[in-house]
Protein backbone atom coordinates (compact mmCIF):
# COMPACT_ATOMS: atom_id res chain seq x y z
CA UNK A 1 0.00 0.00 0.00
CA UNK A 2 1.46 3.40 -0.97
CA UNK A 3 2.46 5.65 1.92
CA UNK A 4 -0.25 8.20 1.06
CA UNK A 5 -2.95 5.53 1.43
CA UNK A 6 -1.54 4.38 4.76
CA UNK A 7 -1.61 7.98 6.01
CA UNK A 8 -5.11 8.54 4.62
CA UNK A 9 -6.37 5.27 6.08
CA UNK A 10 -4.97 6.24 9.48
CA UNK A 11 -6.55 9.70 9.25
CA UNK A 12 -9.90 8.25 8.18
CA UNK A 13 -9.73 5.66 10.94
CA UNK A 14 -9.02 8.32 13.54
CA UNK A 15 -11.51 10.85 12.18
CA UNK A 16 -14.37 8.51 11.44
CA UNK A 17 -13.41 6.23 14.33
CA UNK A 18 -14.07 9.15 16.63
CA UNK A 19 -17.47 9.55 15.02
CA UNK A 20 -18.56 5.93 14.82
CA UNK A 21 -16.03 4.33 17.17
CA UNK A 22 -14.93 1.90 14.47
CA UNK A 23 -12.17 1.86 11.84
CA UNK A 24 -12.98 2.66 8.23
CA UNK A 25 -11.59 1.06 5.12
CA UNK A 26 -10.71 3.45 2.33
CA UNK A 27 -13.26 2.86 -0.45
CA UNK A 28 -11.69 1.89 -3.81
CA UNK A 29 -13.43 4.85 -5.47
CA UNK A 30 -11.68 7.22 -3.05
CA UNK A 31 -8.34 5.68 -4.04
CA UNK A 32 -9.32 6.16 -7.71
CA UNK A 33 -10.24 9.81 -7.10
CA UNK A 34 -7.03 10.47 -5.21
CA UNK A 35 -5.07 9.16 -8.19
CA UNK A 36 -6.96 11.77 -10.23
CA UNK A 37 -6.13 14.53 -7.72
CA UNK A 38 -9.43 14.64 -5.80
CA UNK A 39 -9.20 13.99 -2.06
CA UNK A 40 -11.78 13.44 0.65
CA UNK A 41 -10.85 16.87 1.97
CA UNK A 42 -11.55 18.40 -1.47
CA UNK A 43 -15.01 16.81 -1.46
CA UNK A 44 -15.72 18.06 2.06
CA UNK A 45 -14.42 21.56 1.42
CA UNK A 46 -16.49 21.87 -1.75
CA UNK A 47 -19.67 20.67 -0.03
CA UNK A 48 -19.06 22.99 2.91
CA UNK A 49 -18.85 26.05 0.63
CA UNK A 50 -22.66 25.84 0.41
CA UNK A 51 -23.18 24.85 4.06
CA UNK A 52 -26.02 26.63 5.84
CA UNK A 53 -26.76 25.85 9.50
CA UNK A 54 -29.88 23.74 9.73
CA UNK A 55 -31.67 21.87 12.55
CA UNK A 56 -29.64 18.71 13.06
CA UNK A 57 -26.49 20.19 11.48
CA UNK A 58 -26.21 23.42 13.41
CA UNK A 59 -22.41 23.59 13.26
CA UNK A 60 -19.76 23.11 10.59
CA UNK A 61 -18.25 20.36 12.75
CA UNK A 62 -21.52 18.41 12.75
CA UNK A 63 -21.91 19.02 9.02
CA UNK A 64 -18.35 17.78 8.41
CA UNK A 65 -19.03 14.64 10.45
CA UNK A 66 -22.28 13.89 8.62
CA UNK A 67 -20.85 14.71 5.19
CA UNK A 68 -17.87 12.44 5.83
CA UNK A 69 -20.19 9.56 6.68
CA UNK A 70 -22.36 10.24 3.62
CA UNK A 71 -19.38 10.54 1.27
CA UNK A 72 -17.75 7.34 2.51
CA UNK A 73 -21.05 5.49 2.16
CA UNK A 74 -21.61 6.79 -1.38
CA UNK A 75 -18.04 5.97 -2.43
CA UNK A 76 -18.64 2.32 -1.59
CA UNK A 77 -21.50 1.98 -4.07
CA UNK A 78 -20.44 0.26 -7.32
CA UNK A 79 -23.07 2.15 -9.32
CA UNK A 80 -21.64 5.49 -8.26
CA UNK A 81 -18.14 4.18 -8.96
CA UNK A 82 -19.23 3.11 -12.45
CA UNK A 83 -20.75 6.51 -13.30
CA UNK A 84 -17.77 8.46 -11.97
CA UNK A 85 -15.24 6.17 -13.68
CA UNK A 86 -17.24 6.52 -16.91
CA UNK A 87 -17.02 10.32 -16.61
CA UNK A 88 -13.24 10.17 -16.15
CA UNK A 89 -12.81 7.78 -19.09
CA UNK A 90 -15.09 9.89 -21.28
CA UNK A 91 -13.16 13.02 -20.30
CA UNK A 92 -9.91 11.33 -21.32
CA UNK A 93 -11.31 10.12 -24.64
CA UNK A 94 -12.89 13.50 -25.44
CA UNK A 95 -9.68 15.39 -24.65
CA UNK A 96 -7.85 13.04 -27.03
CA UNK A 97 -10.47 13.66 -29.75
CA UNK A 98 -11.61 10.03 -29.81
CA UNK A 99 -15.36 10.47 -29.29
CA UNK A 100 -17.08 10.15 -32.67
CA UNK A 101 -18.71 13.42 -33.72
CA UNK A 102 -17.52 15.37 -30.69
CA UNK A 103 -14.97 18.01 -31.56
CA UNK A 104 -12.63 19.38 -28.92
CA UNK A 105 -14.21 22.79 -29.45
CA UNK A 106 -17.70 21.52 -28.62
CA UNK A 107 -16.35 19.45 -25.74
CA UNK A 108 -14.52 22.35 -24.14
CA UNK A 109 -16.83 25.15 -25.19
CA UNK A 110 -20.46 24.49 -25.91
CA UNK A 111 -23.14 24.71 -27.12
CA UNK A 112 -24.59 21.30 -27.63
CA UNK A 113 -22.98 18.97 -25.12
CA UNK A 114 -25.30 17.94 -22.28
CA UNK A 115 -23.93 14.46 -21.60
CA UNK A 116 -21.79 15.87 -18.79
CA UNK A 117 -24.85 17.28 -17.00
CA UNK A 118 -26.69 14.00 -17.55
CA UNK A 119 -23.94 12.08 -15.75
CA UNK A 120 -23.93 14.58 -12.89
CA UNK A 121 -27.71 14.41 -12.65
CA UNK A 122 -27.61 10.61 -12.71
CA UNK A 123 -25.13 10.54 -9.80
CA UNK A 124 -27.05 13.14 -7.74
CA UNK A 125 -30.41 11.54 -8.49
CA UNK A 126 -29.17 8.06 -7.66
CA UNK A 127 -27.84 9.23 -4.29
CA UNK A 128 -30.64 11.58 -3.21
CA UNK A 129 -33.50 11.58 -5.71
CA UNK A 130 -35.21 14.83 -6.70
CA UNK A 131 -33.57 16.69 -3.82
CA UNK A 132 -30.18 15.67 -5.16
CA UNK A 133 -31.11 16.99 -8.62
CA UNK A 134 -32.05 20.36 -7.15
CA UNK A 135 -28.79 20.50 -5.22
CA UNK A 136 -26.85 19.45 -8.35
CA UNK A 137 -28.11 22.54 -10.18
CA UNK A 138 -26.65 24.76 -7.46
CA UNK A 139 -23.24 23.05 -7.58
CA UNK A 140 -23.23 22.87 -11.39
CA UNK A 141 -23.90 26.58 -11.83
CA UNK A 142 -21.46 27.86 -9.18
CA UNK A 143 -18.68 25.25 -9.58
CA UNK A 144 -17.30 25.73 -6.05
CA UNK A 145 -14.06 24.27 -4.74
CA UNK A 146 -12.54 21.33 -6.60
CA UNK A 147 -15.25 21.50 -9.28
CA UNK A 148 -13.72 24.56 -10.93
CA UNK A 149 -10.43 22.65 -11.33
CA UNK A 150 -11.91 19.62 -13.08
CA UNK A 151 -12.84 19.10 -16.71
CA UNK A 152 -16.36 19.25 -18.20
CA UNK A 153 -17.30 15.59 -17.62
CA UNK A 154 -15.56 15.10 -14.31
CA UNK A 155 -16.72 18.31 -12.66
CA UNK A 156 -20.33 17.29 -13.20
CA UNK A 157 -19.84 13.72 -12.00
CA UNK A 158 -18.08 14.92 -8.85
CA UNK A 159 -20.62 17.74 -8.52
CA UNK A 160 -23.38 15.12 -8.61
CA UNK A 161 -21.64 13.16 -5.87
CA UNK A 162 -21.26 16.22 -3.66
CA UNK A 163 -24.81 17.40 -4.37
CA UNK A 164 -26.27 14.00 -3.52
CA UNK A 165 -24.44 13.58 -0.24
CA UNK A 166 -25.07 17.20 0.74
CA UNK A 167 -28.77 16.79 0.08
CA UNK A 168 -28.83 13.58 2.11
CA UNK A 169 -27.13 15.35 5.00
CA UNK A 170 -29.91 17.94 5.22
CA UNK A 171 -32.67 15.37 4.67
CA UNK A 172 -31.38 13.09 7.42
CA UNK A 173 -30.89 16.03 9.76
CA UNK A 174 -34.48 17.15 9.19
CA UNK A 175 -35.83 13.66 9.78
CA UNK A 176 -33.83 13.12 12.96
CA UNK A 177 -34.83 16.56 14.23
CA UNK A 178 -38.54 15.68 13.86
CA UNK A 179 -38.25 12.48 15.92
What is the residue-level pLDDT of the chain in tens, covering all 179 positions? 444 444 455 455 445 544 555 556 899 999 999 999 999 999 999 999 999 998 989 999 999 999 999 999 999 999 999 999 999 999 999 999 899 998 887 887 767 789 999 999 999 999 999 999 999 999 999 999 999 999 999 999 999 999 999 999 999 988 877 66
Q: What is the pTM of this model?
A: 0.85
pLDDT of 3: 43
Architecture per CATH, 27-177: Orthogonal Bundle (1.10)
What pLDDT score was predicted for residue 165? 98
Domain boundaries, the chain: 27-177
pLDDT value of position 15 = 52
> Which sign, positive or negative, has the C-alpha torsion 15, 16, 21, 24?
negative
**Alpha-carbon Rg for the chain in angstroms:** 17
Q: How many whole angstroms separate alpha carbon 27 and alpha carbon 6?
A: 13
Contact 134, 159 (CB under 8 A): no
Query: What CA–CA distances, in Å, run from 28 to 31, 78, 159?
Result: 5, 10, 19
Amino acid sequence: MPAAHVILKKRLTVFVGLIAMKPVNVPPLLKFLEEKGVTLQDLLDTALEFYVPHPGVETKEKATQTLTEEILEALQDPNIATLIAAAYLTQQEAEAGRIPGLTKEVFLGRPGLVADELIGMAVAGYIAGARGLFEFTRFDQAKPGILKKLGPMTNDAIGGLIAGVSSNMYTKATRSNHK
